[in-house]
Amino acid sequence: MEDMDMSMPMTTAAPAAKRIKMWMYFHTEIADLVLFKEWRILTVKDMIWTCLGVIAFGIILEGIKFFRFYVEQKFKASLKVQQDAILNPSKTMYATLTFPSKKAYKKKLFSGHHLIQTILFGIQLVFSYVLMLVFMTFSLWLCIAVCVGLTIGYYFFGSREIVSTPVSLIKPIQENSAERIEDCCS
């Protein structure tokens, strides 16, 4: 075992002019490789264009996340909500967990809404992983571009209002809560 030569022959290595270093720490060098061997950054102009593309990618990712939220809210608004459960609550003040039947589950699973959400989720996942890999080049400029793109995207798309139950529907539950506690614990 001691006689084994573990060194690589130098004849297989690329010429020094064509090699780009794989960084394992944050750096500010311009020469870099992004995602594919064809995507080489060799000049400042290349770095600027790459950073602008990464920023756009981050903004698009936040836009996709917002669009998924928007589609979900539109779907929820289109459903008929049973207000009887809110206006006439059962004797317990705690929510109960119910599971949908197999038929209802299959209906939801194969609905157009679920298909759209699944496709959007897949696209969001790809965008997220691509940005993660760009960040993992350890180029300080590209890392800043990822953060700037996501921040700008969040600024434009991040304000999401949560649809909640109107306070007027909750009032009857709050007024009777003391009575229910006495009924429960006396």
C-beta of residue 141 within 8 angstroms of C-beta of residue 51: yes
Structure tokens at 121: 């989720």
Cα–Cα distance, 16 to 57 (Å, whole number): 32
For 74-83, what is each residue's pLDDT tens digit?
887 776 454 3
CA dist list (Å): 84 to 96, 167, 177: 15, 15, 18
CB-side exposure of 137: number of CA atoms within 13 Å?
Answer: 32
Phi then psi for 98, rounded to 5 degrees?
-120, 145
Does the CA dihedral 153-154-155-157 come out positive or negative? positive
Cα–Cα distance, 186 to 180 (Å, whole number): 10
For 108-146, what is each residue's pLDDT tens digit?
788 888 899 999 999 999 999 999 999 998 999 999 999
Kindly report each contact of residues 35-41 with a partner whose C-beta sits within 8 Å and lies 24 or more positions away, as own/partner.
35/130, 35/133, 35/134, 41/139
Higher pLDDT pick, 2 / 56: 56
Structure tokens at 119: 């496709």
Q: Average pLDDT in the 56-73 region?
A: 92
Residue type for position 170: I
Structure tokens at 163: 């649809």
Q: Average pLDDT in the 58-76 region?
A: 90
Altogether, the residues listed in the chain come to a count of 186
